[in-house]
Amino acid sequence: MKFKLSAKTKLNLKSILPPFIYLLLTSLLIFLNYEPNTWFTGWDNLHPEFNPDINLKRALDTTWQEYQSLGLVGGMGHAADLLRQLFLIPFYSFLHPSLIRYLFAFITLTLGPIGTYLLTRHTLTNFPRFSINTKIIASFFAGLFYLLNLGTLQTFYAPFETFIAFYASLPWLLLSVFVYLDSPTRRHLLFLILVNLLSTPSFYIQTLFLVYLFTLLPIIITHLLKKEALLQKISTLFFLSLITLITHAFWLFPVAHFTLNNASVTLTSAQNHLGTQDVALRNQEFGDLKNVTLLKGFWFDFVSLNPATDKFEIMMGPWTDHLNQPVVLIIGYSFFVLVLIGLFYSLKKRLPHSIPLAFTLFLSLFFLINSNPPTGFLFDFLTDQIPLLGQSFRSVYTKWSTPAALSYSLFFSIGVIFLLDLFSFLHTHLTTFITSFTLILTLLIFSGPMFQGHLIYPAMKQSIPDAYFQLFDFFDHQDKNTRIANLPQHTLWGWQFYNWGYQGSGFLWYGIEQPILDRAFDTWSSASENYYHQISQAIYSQNLTQLENLIDQYQINWFILDRSLIIPASTSQKALFIPQIEKLLNQSDKIDHISDFDFISVYQTNPSTQPQNFFSTKAFNPQPIIFADPELDTTQFNLLETPSVNRSTTKNEATNCDPYNSTSYTKTIAPDKITYTSINANLCDHFTYPQLPHAYGYKITIDHQNISGQPLLVCLESYASGTCLIYQYLDTDSNHPFTTSTLTVPPMNPQDYGYTLHLYNYSIGRLKTENAWRQIEIQPLNPTTFDLTPNSSTHPYTQLNTTQKRAYSLYTASASSSQANSLLVLNQAYDEGWKAYQANFFSQKLPNWLLYLNSLLLVPIPEDQHIIANDWANGWLLPQDDSHLIIVYRPQLFQFFGFSLLLFLPLLTFLHPNKQD
């Protein structure tokens, strides 16, 4: 008896074949890019696998980020990672932790093309013009292109979880929206809910949610224009909007609180001030049509440290060589031509959903082109008028490459249909086979390095030394309510390099619950940034008294000294100051050397007042924060008559400090000024002052002019340490041809001498940077101006009786005071969201959820009694007698409210009209 498959079975087999092929391809890619016995780590990374329990606890209580430096308001969608962490929990039981991040990359790499395939199938379902086989083939190529394009490559080359999750989720999100709007049934509503919930890890960087909303906008508009009952359309869109809000509210509400109340901190931080324009210019360099058509972004010009050679190299070097081959470029541009053909063909044939998908394509191109012609004038206008928009989309490529890749893929598939339609007159299956084979072959040629181990940047695959896991275990057995200062502190950047290969934004806090005073968090907290200036000054001036004062001011309980940190590609490592740090720590009676884990040393401190669960009752009048500030009123300083004013003159030849770009750079010396001009180069100049004693502070006055491009970047390098004590761009003033900027540097180690003033005229890409200066003066300042001796506060004594940290955002405390206005300090960075409530002893024993609810009913201690203690912490002035306090970070209720809204999803599903499919 001959076995024969039914037509339906054949169709089902054909339909599941593309996802099976994607699975085989992604399995092959991960296998070829995996390196055994390594961790997938570096750049921006999340590592909850280091300690799943504490990271899950943080994801449930995210509005106040206690572990970040001095505590701060979460500036990212930290709670959005919750479902990803829950999903990974079962794998911890049978996979080594080093495999977890590889696993997540594999899953997202596979889900993206499958979702794109299904999305394309859905858009073609109700279009009878094409055969079933044609629709399956076209949909297959949509998923294949989504997998093998340059946008996907750059998403996974140095991946951050949020971006690869967005890559996987966006096709499914659009699919769930189209499916629901086309047939608004309960079953499709449940599909919409499920996809939205599972997609939440995509929005750890909240700007991606804004990108998603931009892609929803044209879908909503075109749905409103459909010819059906208005009430039905409004009802459908109401449920769509409500589901989108409810499923994302638990992470979205805390982010909204940050945006409305704390976004200015990020905008004015030193790291953003230095980096924002650089990032924008790198994106602009690759915003021309020859790069946008290929989805080629700034990663192709990015340099990174090669751990094997200790030299900076173009990180995508193999891909640059690959794309320099004419045949590869021809293939790439041919793909874009096919995308344009597909766009035109879909609009001409009026394919379902072609208009909103075309809008997504145009919007993606608008942002990728950014400041370049032909739409750059509009982009610049919008980002100038809305600074937060400019900050959010400063790196447009990382935000918009995925929507661009998806829209390219969808219209590429329609272009495939055009080709099949073009050759349909031959009426042969051989035509379909030859066309499909040719497209598959060209896609494989174009993406060839992916299959040679270059889908993932090799430097991302590292063996993490055991010393760090021993360190994690050590702190797992210490008081969790203590604070760690990590050393050395040689740079303001939250980006570190290690001699064992790691380079990135850091990882310690994923394995250690105690807060760590790391530079990665400065961009979200001015208090943390101020701490850096103070600790840096104490270390590089070798001022033991100042260091011990900082222990008291910031309630530092531990120091970690990591000797594996390096200054990359440098012949001198003296700026790390490690021998001097060791000497300084060992000299102190308040610091004890506790333990060593290979190259890591742990020191424990003995502050003047030992905090209990982050509470203390003694404050210090803060040390002045001395750092370069162009707005500083220098008339407050007493100038010394000797040594005399130093005026800079120049005889140096112009040099280029960018070893990878050197289009042109010139230095022009005129009688009245010196002008620097750079195009795709970094002209650098310097002036040496070997005679200047570090015992003095100095005022540096620069009379300068910004003619075009970025202003001058200034570094004042210490002879003794080799570090930049000042590192910042000079201010500009468009109302005056020349601007006078004043910078100050405090006294340092009296035994040291000499500074070098560096000026950088930095141009990225094709844009010319031109600056001029006509005078630089350095004047000494009286050391007494910089008195750093703290004084104890004069608040009456407070007896701290009991304290308890119930959650990261919830504390209870009982204290007694014999006089009014005694002080209670909570050593978390000051924020108006912290509220203290007078309660009673019994109410303090209530469960956490009742304490949170109780805070909505109680009246907090008045704001005029909520003060800034130690120049950074929360302090409350207490009345005479006993106080029983409940202290809550009130904005955390936004996240809990978001969680509570999820309970309404079953009700919404029940209330939804029960229409038939």
Q: At what angle do helices 396-422 and 429-446 cross, to 10 degrees?
A: 160
Pair 837, 861: CB distance under 8 Å: yes
Give the pLDDT mean for 844-854: 91
Q: How many CB atoms are located within 10 Å of the residue 862 CB?
A: 9
Q: Residue 265: pLDDT above 80?
A: yes
Q: Among 459, 483, 517, where does a domain finish? A: 459
Our CA dihedral for 434, 437, 442, 448, rounded to 10 degrees, sits at -160
3-state secondary structure of 686: strand
DSSP state of 722: -
- The mean predicted confidence, pLDDT, of the chain is 91
Q: Residue 197: pLDDT above 90?
A: yes
Token match 């001030």: residue? 273
Q: Per the domain annotation, does 909 fall within a domain?
A: yes
The whole-angstrom separation of Cα 340 and Cα 351 is 15
For 682-695, how does the pLDDT look when each residue is reduced to its tens digit (9 = 90+)? 999 999 998 899 98
The whole-angstrom separation of Cα 35 and Cα 748 is 47
Query: Residue 326: which residues within 8 A CB-CB, separation 6 or more?
Result: none
**Among residues of the chain, what percentage have pLDDT more than 90?**
75
Q: How many CB atoms are located within 10 Å of the residue 792 CB?
A: 11
Question: How far, in whole angstroms, is CA 278 from its chain's centroid?
Answer: 15
* DSSP assignment string, 174-201: HHHHHHHHHS--HHHHHHHHHHHHHTGG
Q: Residue 380: pLDDT above 80?
A: yes
Q: What are phi and psi of 606, to 5 degrees?
A: -130, 80
Query: Residue 705: which residues within 8 A CB-CB, separation 6 or more?
Result: 673, 737, 738, 739, 771, 772, 773, 774
| Residues 440 and 361 placed together within one structural domain of the fold | yes
Number of domains making up the chain: 4
Q: What are phi and psi of 868, to 5 degrees?
A: -90, 115
Our CA dihedral for 351, 357, 358, 361, rounded to 10 degrees, sits at -150
| Residues 682 and 587 placed together within one structural domain of the fold | no
Q: Which residue type, as a one-letter code, is found at position 716?
A: L
Q: Residue 646: pLDDT above 60?
A: no
Residue, of 598 and 842, whose pLDDT is higher: 598
Question: How far, in whole angstroms, is CA 613 from its chain's centroid?
Answer: 30
Query: Residue 257: which residues within 8 A CB-CB, separation 6 or more?
Result: 63, 73, 833, 891, 894
| Residues 825 and 903 placed together within one structural domain of the fold | yes
For 450-492, how does the pLDDT look when each residue is reduced to its tens digit (9 = 90+)? 999 999 999 999 999 999 999 999 999 999 999 999 999 999 9
**pLDDT value for 626:** 43
| Residues 596 and 717 placed together within one structural domain of the fold | no
Q: How many CB atoms are located within 10 Å of the residue 404 CB?
A: 22
3-state secondary structure of 274: helix
For 141-183, how does the pLDDT look when each residue is reduced to its tens digit (9 = 90+)? 999 999 999 999 999 999 999 999 999 999 999 999 999 999 9
Give the pLDDT mean for 899-905: 97
Q: Which residue type, as a one-letter code, is found at position 471?
A: L
**pLDDT value for 545:** 93
Q: Which of 462, 428, 257, 290 is nearest to 368 (CA)?
A: 290
Q: Per the domain annotation, does 62 fall within a domain?
A: no
| Residues 476 and 391 placed together within one structural domain of the fold | no
Q: Per the domain annotation, does 686 fall within a domain?
A: yes
Structure tokens, 50: 């280091």
Q: Residue 706: pLDDT above 50?
A: yes
| Residues 304 and 370 placed together within one structural domain of the fold | yes
Cα 168 to Cα 113, 161, 173, 179, 764: the distances in Å are 8, 11, 9, 18, 32
**pLDDT value for 608:** 87
Q: How many CA atoms lie within 13 A of 324 on its CB side?
A: 7
Give the model's confidence band at 97: pLDDT under 50 very low, under 70 low, under 90 confident, else very high: very high
Q: Per the domain annotation, does 264 fall within a domain?
A: no
Structure tokens, 894: 């936004």
Pair 783, 697: CB distance under 8 Å: yes
Pair 781, 457: CB distance under 8 Å: no
Pair 595, 561: CB distance under 8 Å: no
Residue, of 3 and 52, whose pLDDT is higher: 52
DSSP state of 766: T
The whole-angstrom separation of Cα 335 and Cα 442 is 9
* DSSP assignment string, 654-675: PEE--TT--SEEEEEE-SS-EE
Q: How many CA atoms lie within 13 A of 165 on its CB side?
A: 28
Residue, of 627 and 59, whose pLDDT is higher: 59
B/e letters for 76-98, b = 16+ CB within 10 Å, e = fewer, are bbbbbbbbbbeebeeeeeeeebb
Segment among 5-19, 614-628, 649-663 with least mean pLDDT: 614-628
The whole-angstrom separation of Cα 184 and Cα 191 is 11
Pair 528, 72: CB distance under 8 Å: yes
Q: Among 766, 785, 804, where does a domain finish? A: 785
Q: Per the domain annotation, does 630 fall within a domain?
A: no
Give the model's confidence band at 837: pLDDT under 50 very low, under 70 low, under 90 confident, else very high: very high
**pLDDT value for 649:** 54
The whole-angstrom separation of Cα 74 and Cα 254 is 8
Q: Residue 11: pLDDT above 80?
A: no
Give the pLDDT mean for 208-212: 97
Q: Which of 179, 209, 208, 213 is nearest to 193 (CA)?
A: 179
| Residues 734 and 815 placed together within one structural domain of the fold | no
**pLDDT value for 818:** 84
Range of the domain at 564: 464-605
SS3 readout for 690-715: EEEECCCEEEEEEEEEEEECCCCEEE
Give the model's confidence band at 4: pLDDT under 50 very low, under 70 low, under 90 confident, else very high: low
Pair 154, 396: CB distance under 8 Å: no
First vs last Cα of the chain: how many Å apart? 39
Q: Which of 875, 41, 10, 13 is nearest to 501 (CA)?
A: 41
The whole-angstrom separation of Cα 720 and Cα 564 is 21
Q: How many CB atoms are located within 10 Å of the residue 46 CB?
A: 20
Query: Residue 313: which residues within 8 A CB-CB, separation 6 or more?
Result: 303, 304, 305, 306
| Residues 316 and 441 placed together within one structural domain of the fold | yes
Pair 917, 190: CB distance under 8 Å: no
| Residues 744 and 825 placed together within one structural domain of the fold | no
Element (H, E) at 761: strand 753-762
Q: Which residue type, as a one-letter code, is found at position 691?
A: Q
Q: Residue 541: pLDDT above 70?
A: yes
| Residues 591 and 535 placed together within one structural domain of the fold | yes
| Residues 305 and 345 placed together within one structural domain of the fold | yes
The whole-angstrom separation of Cα 390 and Cα 384 is 7
Token match 């405390």: residue? 813
Token match 């109780």: residue? 854
DSSP state of 796: P
Q: Among 739, 770, 785, where does a domain finish? A: 785
3-state secondary structure of 886: strand
Element (H, E) at 278: helix 270-285
Pair 462, 98: CB distance under 8 Å: no
Query: Residue 184: which residues within 8 A CB-CB, separation 6 or more?
Result: 235, 236, 239, 912, 913, 915
For 496-509, how does the pLDDT look when each residue is reduced to its tens digit (9 = 90+)? 999 999 999 999 99
**pLDDT value for 393:** 83
Q: Per the domain annotation, does 260 fall within a domain?
A: no
Q: Per the domain annotation, does 856 fall within a domain?
A: yes
Q: How many CB atoms are located within 10 Å of the residue 662 CB?
A: 15
The whole-angstrom separation of Cα 539 and Cα 631 is 26
Burial (CB < 10 A; 0-12, 13-18, 19+), residue 109, is buried
Q: Which of 531, 528, 516 is nearest to 562 (CA)?
A: 516
The whole-angstrom separation of Cα 225 and Cα 798 is 68
| Residues 308 and 177 placed together within one structural domain of the fold | yes
Query: Residue 567: which residues within 8 A CB-CB, separation 6 or more?
Result: 490, 497, 573, 575, 576
CATH code of the domain in which 589 resides: 3.40.50
Cα 189 to Cα 120, 121, 536: the distances in Å are 20, 19, 55
Q: Per the domain annotation, does 613 fall within a domain?
A: no
**pLDDT value for 292:** 97
**pLDDT value for 547:** 96
3-state secondary structure of 337: helix
Q: Which of 22, 26, 82 is nearest to 58 (CA)?
A: 82
Q: Residue 786: pLDDT above 90?
A: no
871: left (phi over 0), alpha (psi -120 to 50) or beta: left
Residue, of 189 and 10, whose pLDDT is higher: 189
Give the pLDDT mean for 630-651: 42
Pair 888, 851: CB distance under 8 Å: yes
**pLDDT value for 840:** 85
- CA angle in degrees (0–180, nearest 5) for 794-799-800: 115
